[in-house]
Structure 1
Amino acid sequence: MTTHFWAREWAVIFLVVWAVGSAGCAGYQLGHKGTSLKGGDSIQIKPIENRTQEPGLGEALSFALRQQIQRDGTFALETQNRGDILLEATVTSVTRNKLTLDPQDVLTVRDFEIFVTAQFKATRQSGSEVLMQKEITGKTSSRAASDLTEAERRVLPLVMQDMAQQAVDQLSNPDW
C-alpha cells in the first residue's frame, strides 16, 4: 500500500511541476516588437551596394547583418521576396584616422581607427511604408603592428559587426 501511495504522490508532483513549467513558457514571443514595426515578423536583406573603392564591403556587411538578425531574434531571416520587411543598404564611405605614431618613425602609424558609413532603408514588402531610413557608421580601433593593410583587413569584420548591430537595434527598437 505504501508503494502505491508514493507512486501516486510522485505522479501528482510531476504533473504540478510540468504544469507550472509549461505555463511559464506559454507567453513567450520572439524578441521585442517596436511600435512602428508591428506586423513585420520576417526580414529580407537585398544585395548591398558598395560605392567605395574598397572591395568586399557589401558582402562583409551582408554577412554581419545576417548574423546580427539571427543573434537578435526579433525577426526571422527570409529570402526569395518572402520577408515582411525589405532591408537595403549602400556602403558610402570608408575613413581611416591615425591615433598614434611609432615614436622611432613618425611616418609609421601604430594605432588607427577605421569608420565605415552606410545608408540603410527598411520598407514593407509592398514598398508602401518606409520603416527606417538612416545613415549608420560602424567604427573600431586597432594596432597596426607591422602591416597596416593586414591590420585593416583583420578589423573590417569588427566594423561591419558594429554597424550591423546598430542597424538591427534600430529596426528592433525604433523608439529608442
Structure 2
Amino acid sequence: MTRLRFLFCLPLALLSGCAGYNLGPTAGFPAGSRSVEVKFFKNETIEPRLVTAMNHAMRKQLQQDGTYRLETRGRGDVVVTGKITEFTRSAISFRPEDVITARNFAVSMVADIKAVDSATGEVLLDRSIAGRTAVLIGDDLASAERQAVPLLAEDLARNATSLLVNGDW
C-alpha cells in the first residue's frame, strides 16, 4: 500500500515542478514578430565612454535573446530609452604590501531604462536597473577600468533585457 502511494506521489511531485513553465514565447507573442528600437542613452555621470558601451551591449543582448527584432532604421514597435545615473567603484581587496592601494575593485552602473509601446503609448518597463562587475587591477587602473566598462554594460543590458522580455516577477 505504501509502495503504491509512493509510485503515485512521485510522478505528481515531479510534474508539479513544471507548473510555472510557459511553453512558447515569453512576452505573449511569437519571437521576432515585434521590433525594438534602442535610442542613444544619456550619461549623467562624469565617466566617459559609458554611453557607447551601454548602447552596444543593449542592442547585442536584444539580438541574442531573439524575442524582439532589432530595428535600426525607422521606428520600432517598442522604443527603449535610458539614462545612466550612477557609476561607482569601490575597493574589494588591497595589496598585502600596501594596504592603501587596491588590488580589486567592484564597479557598478545604474541606468533608468524606459520601454514604451510606440503604437499604444503603454509603458512596458520603467525602472532603475543595475549592473556590476569586478576588476582586477594590474599596473594601470585606467586600462583596467577601460576593460571593465563593456563587461559592466553587458551585465546591465542582460538585466534590462530580461526584465523587458520576461516582465517583472
Q: Same fold (TM over 0.5)?
A: yes
* C-alpha distance in 1 between matches for 2:35 and 2:126: 18
Residue number in structure 1 paired with 2:161: 168
Give 1:46's aligned amino acid.
Answer: K
Q: Do 1:100 and 1:110's aligned partners in 2 also have CA atoms closer than 8 Å?
A: yes
Q: Give the structure-2-normalised TM-score.
A: 0.80
Q: Do 1:69 and 1:75's aligned partners in 2 also have CA atoms closer than 8 Å?
A: yes
Say which of 65, 69, 73 aligns to 1:76. Answer: 69
Give 1:168's aligned amino acid.
Answer: T
Q: 1:6-155 to 2 correspondence within 5 Å?
A: 32-35=25-28, 41-126=34-119, 128-155=121-148
* C-alpha distance in 2 between matches for 1:84 and 1:35: 15
Tell me how many residue pairs correspond in the alignment: 146
Quote the sequence identity (%): 38
CA RMSD across the alignment? 2.2
Which 5+ residue runs of structure 1 have no aligned equivalent? Answer: 1-30
Once the two structures are TM-superposed, the CA of residue 145 in structure 1 deviates from its matched residue by 1.3
* C-alpha distance in 1 between matches for 2:25 and 2:88: 34
**Greater helix content:** 1
Q: Are the structure 2 counterparts of residues 141 and 34 from structure 1 closer, same or farther at C-alpha, using a change threshold of 3 Å?
A: same
Secondary structure of 1:128's partner?
A: coil
Residue number in structure 2 paired with 1:25: none
Which 5+ residue runs of structure 2 have no aligned equivalent? Answer: 1-23
Once the two structures are TM-superposed, the CA of residue 35 in structure 1 deviates from its matched residue by 4.7
Give 2:158's aligned amino acid.
Answer: Q
Give 2:77's aligned amino acid.
Answer: D
* C-alpha distance in 1 between matches for 2:61 and 2:37: 13
Give 1:41's aligned amino acid.
Answer: R
Once the two structures are TM-superposed, the CA of residue 92 in structure 1 deviates from its matched residue by 0.5
Q: Do 1:85 and 1:123's aligned partners in 2 also have CA atoms closer than 8 Å?
A: yes
* C-alpha distance in 1 between matches for 2:120 and 2:107: 34
Once the two structures are TM-superposed, the CA of residue 148 in structure 1 deviates from its matched residue by 1.2
